[in-house]
Amino acid sequence: MCPVELPEEYPVVPNEAPPVLRLTPPRVSKRSTVASASVFGLRGDLRVGAVRVDARTVDYSEGSVHHRLFRASGGIQHRDVSRWMRGDPHRSFEVSNREAVRLAQQIARAVPEVSGRTEGPAVVKRLHVASSSKDGKSRSDSVTHVAVQFRRAERGIPVEGPGGMVTLFVHPDGHSSGFDLLWRPVSKVFRESLDLVDARDVVERVIRDWWRRGLRTGRVTRVRFGYLELDWTANQRLLQPAYVVFGLFQDPSGKTRFGRIEAVHASASPAGPLLPPRPRLERAFPERHDASGHVATRTKP
């Protein structure tokens, strides 16, 4: 029907549909944030620390360390700002992926809240810092940290989306400069799912929707199956099975490429909305990518 290419492979799904899981609502307050900070090695004492509160987060700081909890998700961001993204600009942090994973797991063993969550698939990324002289003749680029992200699984089903992960940031000295933990706890089975929708039907439906929105030249790069966990600021209460469809498109000139990601219910009997309403700004200005795949920021005209 349209020149959007179908994927080469479709995900393998279980014979029995996984159940819909109810998530434990987070209780984030000044007291719970200070208590959480003490679990992660801080004194958790307002006589030596301070608390800052806004609509989305509660942040406890003690010396150079900031411990932040997100109200909607209960997610945690922990940073030592005296070490975060600070390394030797003249010496790049060179380490293999295997060694980076080993260092991250070693760091995690000292933090009970994190240690049991570093056995899943790991993704290693290197964080770069670039600098140049004023005249632009001298430039340098070095790796200051390595980020090791471990993905979550529930009942043997991978968890997709921005949530369901723990990321540890490894400093060149082998110790941690911070971590991210977005891993909503499950309280119980909310409802057993019925049959799963076929992935091919989902992809065809997504392509038809893209076609109606004017996205007509591109391809579906991959399709994944799993539970979907949302981002830091989402007030999510159910963990539901979903297909995540990745597309890559180009504008009529062929010079600019941009990606689209669609999450669709995998269950024939969804228990509720899979995603919150998209912000108006996101609808108006989706992410765009240049030819190398990097995000190109769009500004309001």
Number of domains in the chain: 3
Range of the domain at 95: 81-183
pLDDT confidence bin for 282, thresholds 50/70/90: very low
pLDDT confidence bin for 284, thresholds 50/70/90: very low
Residue 219 lies in a domain: yes
- Residues paired with residue 153 on neighbouring β-strands, in sequence order: 158
End residue of a domain, out of 14, 49, 71: 71
Q: What is the mean pLDDT of residues 243-259?
A: 86
Q: Does 292 share its domain with 194?
A: yes
27: Cβ contacts below 8 Å, ≥ 6 apart: 74
- Of 199, 245, 254, the C-alpha closest to 222 is 245
What is the reported pLDDT for 132?
67
Q: Does 166 share its domain with 194?
A: no
Q: Does 157 share its domain with 195?
A: no
What is the reported pLDDT for 233?
95
Q: Does 218 share its domain with 178?
A: no
In this structure, what CATH number is given to the domain that contains residue 291?
Answer: 2.40.128
Q: Does 129 share its domain with 101?
A: yes
Q: Does 163 share its domain with 128?
A: yes
Q: Say what percent of the chain tops pLDDT 70.
A: 88
What is the reported pLDDT for 13?
94
Does 263 score more than 70 pLDDT? yes
- 38: how many CB neighbours lie within 10 A of its CB? 15
Cα torsion 77, 74, 280, 244 to 10°: value is 90
Judge whether 42 and 202 are in contact, CB under 8 Å: no
Q: Does 173 share its domain with 136?
A: yes
Does 300 score more than 60 pLDDT? no
| Range from 37-51, 114-128, 225-239 carrying the lowest mean pLDDT | 114-128
Q: What is the mean pLDDT of residues 231-236?
A: 95
pLDDT in tens, 26-77: 999 999 999 999 988 899 999 999 999 999 999 999 999 999 999 999 999 9
In this structure, what CATH number is given to the domain that contains residue 122?
Answer: 3.10.450
pLDDT confidence bin for 292, thresholds 50/70/90: very low
Q: Say what percent of the chain tops pLDDT 90.
A: 62
Does 90 score more than 80 pLDDT? no
pLDDT confidence bin for 103, thresholds 50/70/90: very high
Q: Does 56 share its domain with 146?
A: no
Tokens of 66: 């900031």
Please give the model's pTM, rounded to 2 decimal places: 0.85
Judge whether 219 and 247 are in contact, CB under 8 Å: yes
Q: Does 179 share its domain with 227?
A: no
CA-based R_g, the chain, Å: 21
pLDDT confidence bin for 87, thresholds 50/70/90: low
Q: Does 197 share its domain with 176?
A: no
Q: How far is CA 36 from CA 28, 70, 108, 213, in A?
A: 10, 12, 16, 45
Q: How far is CA 130 from CA 88, 134, 136, in A?
A: 12, 13, 12
Distance of CA 212 to the CA centre of its chain: 29
What is the reported pLDDT for 130?
72
